[in-house]
């Protein structure tokens, strides 16, 4: 691992590297989407090539599927896998109870389906994603294209009675056109600033016609692996109530990871 990585890239790498300890040969593993999850895929690919690791990966986006195949990981669909041993994914925010906001990369629907079809979900993140209360990161909501403006209005009206600080909603764009998810839907980003009752908000939003799913992951994550820019990594297990820490040393070596960017 090169020593000239930025602190944020070091943090993402050590989190991903530590998370590979959860993976054993023969497992069916959900592979997350995003810059931190990309480090994980490359780490697992190296283990497949150099250590004989045998796994079947279920990607949560077309981007992750392409990366996994390129890394030498066998890719299968969730329908083929039926159930997974483990999912490892990133997060845009996590709180002390390991509730999450996900969907900054636009893959929240597949990410939530894969995570809930797993015996265990492990989140990998740098320490900047830790918050006391969810909501600083805009909450993504996936909606069908038909009548999306009506759905947007209904969401904004529902926020009036919620324990949130903001109620601005925007359609996510990809240049001059609306962003389109792998499932052909749009994403509305809810700028709430603070979410006082995430469970209630999730239930209310998902009852609105046109909403497919929201980016609140409640009671899904079992552990979070937190990377720091100095090479430290912390593992918090919500089930056992334990916290462990270790430090990785960074050496000047050629590796597969130098081409990964945010």
Q: What is the pLDDT along the chain (262 residues), one digit of tens a residue?
A: 556 789 999 999 999 999 999 999 999 999 999 999 999 999 999 999 999 999 999 999 999 999 999 999 999 999 999 999 999 999 999 999 999 999 999 999 999 999 999 999 999 999 999 999 999 999 999 999 999 999 999 999 999 989 999 999 999 999 999 999 999 999 999 999 999 999 999 999 999 999 999 999 999 999 999 999 999 999 999 888 888 998 887 544 444 444 443 3
104 is annotated as contributing to ligand binding: yes
Do 170 and 46 share a structural domain? no
Is residue 256 in some structural domain?
Answer: no
- Supply the pLDDT for residue 241: 85
Q: Where are the alpha helices (DSSP H) in the chain?
A: 7-19, 35-51, 62-70, 78-81, 108-116, 148-159, 198-206
Domain containing residue 206: CATH number: 3.30.70.260
Residue 2 lies in a domain: no
Could you tell me if residue 190 is inside a domain?
Answer: yes
Q: Is residue 262 part of a domain?
A: no
Check whether 227 is labelled as a binding-site residue. Answer: no
Per-residue pLDDT at 204 = 98
Residue 158's domain comprises 139-214
For residue 249, say whether it is annotated as part of any ligand binding site. no
Domain boundary among the residues 214, 233, 256 is at 214
For the chain, what's the residue count? 262
Chain center to CA of 178:
22
**In terms of pTM, does the model score above 0.85?**
yes
36 is in an annotated binding site: yes
pLDDT value for 250: 58
152 in the same domain as 70: no
Pairing of β 168-171 and β 173-174: unpaired
Rounded CA separation 155/40 (Å)? 35
102 marked ligand binding residue: yes
Q: Which residues are catalytic?
A: 111
Which residue intervals of 123-180 are DSSP H helices?
Answer: 148-159
């Amino acid at each position: 691992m090169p020593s000239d990585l930025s602190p944020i890239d070091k943090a993402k790498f050590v989190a991903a590297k530590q998370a590979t300890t959860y993976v054993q040969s023969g497992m069916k593993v959900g592979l997350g989407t995003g810059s931190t999850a990309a480090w994980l895929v490359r780490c697992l690919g190296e283990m497949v090539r150099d250590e004989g690791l045998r796994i079947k990966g279920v990607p949560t986006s077309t981007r992750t599927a392409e990366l996994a195949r390129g890394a030498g990981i066998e890719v299968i669909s969730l329908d083929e896998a039926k159930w997974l041993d483990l999912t490892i994914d990133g997060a845009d925010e996590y709180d002390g109870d390991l509730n999450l906001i996900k969907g900054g990369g636009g893959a929240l629907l597949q990410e939530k389906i894969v995570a809930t079809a797993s015996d265990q979900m492990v989140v990998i993140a740098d320490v900047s994603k830790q918050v006391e209360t969810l909501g600083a990161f805009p909450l993504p909501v996936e909606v069908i294209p038909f009548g999306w403006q009506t759905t947007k209005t209904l969401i904004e009206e529902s926020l009036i009675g919620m324990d949130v600080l903001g109620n601005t909603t925007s359609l996510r764009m990809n240049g001059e056109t609306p962003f389109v998810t792998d499932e052909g839907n749009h994403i509305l980003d809810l700028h709430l600033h603070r979410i006082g009752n995430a469970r209630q908000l999730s239930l209310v939003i998902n009852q609105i016609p046109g909403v497919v799913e929201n980016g609140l992951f409640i009671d899904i994550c079992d552990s979070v692996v937190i990377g720091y820019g100095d090479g430290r990594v912390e593992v918090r297990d919500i089930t056992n109530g334990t916290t462990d820490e270790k430090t990785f040393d960074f050496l000047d070596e050629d590796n597969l990871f130098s081409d990964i960017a945010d």
